Amino acid sequence: MTTTIDAAGDAMTASPAGGPAIVTRGLTKRFRGGQIAVDHLDLTVPRGAVFGFLGPNGSGKTTTIRMLLGLVTPTSGSSSILGAASPVQALTRVGALVEGPAFYPYLSGAANLRRFDAADPSADPRTVGRRVAEALDRVGLAAAAKKRYRAYSLGMRQRLAIAATLLGPRELLVLDEPTNGLDPQGTREVRNLIKDVAAGGTTVFVSSHLLAEVEQMCTHIGVMSTGRLVAEGTLTELRSASVPRIRVETPDSSLAAAALTAFGLTNIIPAPGEVSAELGDALPERVTAALVREGIAVRGLQVVHPTLEDVFVHLTGEGFDVEA
């Protein structure tokens, strides 16, 4: 049985039924011209998770999603969604938003969804009215069902795009950058919608380059950097991977560095007027006492806990956009 952490940080038990929602093994895509977009990706997305697929632009998120859905052929490796032998066999159980569907500006939200549904050969035309009404209700657009698409705000447009993925019962929702281009209000709407969908038992796999956004709605995170997965785990696991550091302000930084080394601290970085080191399990008061014993002038001392962003920047060597 796998244990996952819900969006609020509480422990919950994910259903083990049917195995993971997504598994990739050695998944690789090299485009013509030699560009490697995804490099031996081993990913496991547990059922019931809201999995944030985080990475800077160009790190391979969209290419991975396209391979998962059978829209791009991998160069090597394999992937499986919902335990199916091929993406086609799982597609009726998966809602996907990769490139926003082309909606007609002069049609209402409801009429657009009906047209969208008509293009799906697996959808039953006899139940379309009920399913469209339910999908609009789920995304909070029931009152705007008859409004023309062109009058929708950006947030409403994105919610309609998500409604299009919810026209049938879905076990898995795959959303590529669903908040791209949205203002803070629209972003909040989409984030809350994703949480609601997940609360109903649907696994959600959502890509983003926004760390804060992923932190607010996801139970699990996978971090991509130049086509490689550099970190994967629950939010709690990834947070606990961050090791606190001690920062000593002193005019004797080289002497202090030597004293910290002698004390057994590692990863020591001396700088003018200060020195810092990984604290690990050491007690800061003991470190202070050791420095004073060595006659080092300590002007200030601070224990610094790296944020999740610090951890990821360290892993990827790149900054993340932290604005939600």
Ligand X SMILES: Nc1ncnc2c1ncn2[C@@H]1O[C@H](COP(=O)(O)OP(=O)(O)OP(=O)(O)O)[C@@H](O)[C@H]1O
Other beta carbons within 10 angstroms of residue 294's beta carbon come to 15
> Nearer to ligand X by C-beta: 31 or 104?
31
Calpha distance 69→268 (Å, rounded): 46
Site string for ligand X, 15-34 (x = CB under 6 A): ----------------x---
Shortest distance, CB of residue 162 to ligand X, whole angstroms? 18
> Nearer to ligand X by C-beta: 59 or 108?
59
Please pick, from the candidates 24, 59, 79, 158, the single residue that binds ligand X as defined by CB under 6 A.
Answer: 59
Shortest distance, CB of residue 180 to ligand X, whole angstroms? 8
Calpha distance 96→177 (Å, rounded): 11
Shortest distance, CB of residue 177 to ligand X, whole angstroms? 6
Please pick, from the candidates 40, 44, 58, 294, the single residue that binds ligand X as defined by CB under 6 A.
Answer: 58
Calpha distance 12→266 (Å, rounded): 36
The CA angle 114-175-4, to the nearest 5 degrees, is 125
Tell whether residue 60 is a contact of ligand X (CB under 6 A): yes
Shortest distance, CB of residue 91 to ligand X, whole angstroms? 20
> Nearer to ligand X by C-beta: 66 or 159?
66
Shortest distance, CB of residue 59 to ligand X, whole angstroms? 4
Which window, 57-65, 159-167, 184-192, 272-280, contacts ligand X (CB under 6 A)? Answer: 57-65
Strands in 105-257 per DSSP E: 172-176, 203-208, 220-225, 228-234, 245-249
Please pick, from the candidates 23, 50, 61, 279, the single residue that binds ligand X as defined by CB under 6 A.
Answer: 61
Closest by CA position to 81, among listed 30, 136, 44: 44
Calpha distance 233→236 (Å, rounded): 8
Tell whether residue 57 is a contact of ligand X (CB under 6 A): yes
Calpha distance 187→183 (Å, rounded): 6
SS3 state at 55: coil
Which window, 5-13, 61-69, 138-146, 278-286, contacts ligand X (CB under 6 A)? Answer: 61-69
> Nearer to ligand X by C-beta: 63 or 179?
63
Which window, 59-67, 231-239, 241-249, 266-274, contacts ligand X (CB under 6 A)? Answer: 59-67
Please pick, from the candidates 4, 24, 28, 62, the single residue that binds ligand X as defined by CB under 6 A.
Answer: 62
3-class SS letters over 281-305: CCCHHHHHHHHHHCCCCCCEEEEEC
Sort strands 203-208 and 228-234 into parallel, antiparallel or unpaired.
unpaired
Q: Are 52 and 206 in contact (CB under 8 A)?
A: yes
**What is the contact surface with ligand X in residues (CB under 6 A)?**
31, 35, 37, 55, 57-63, 209
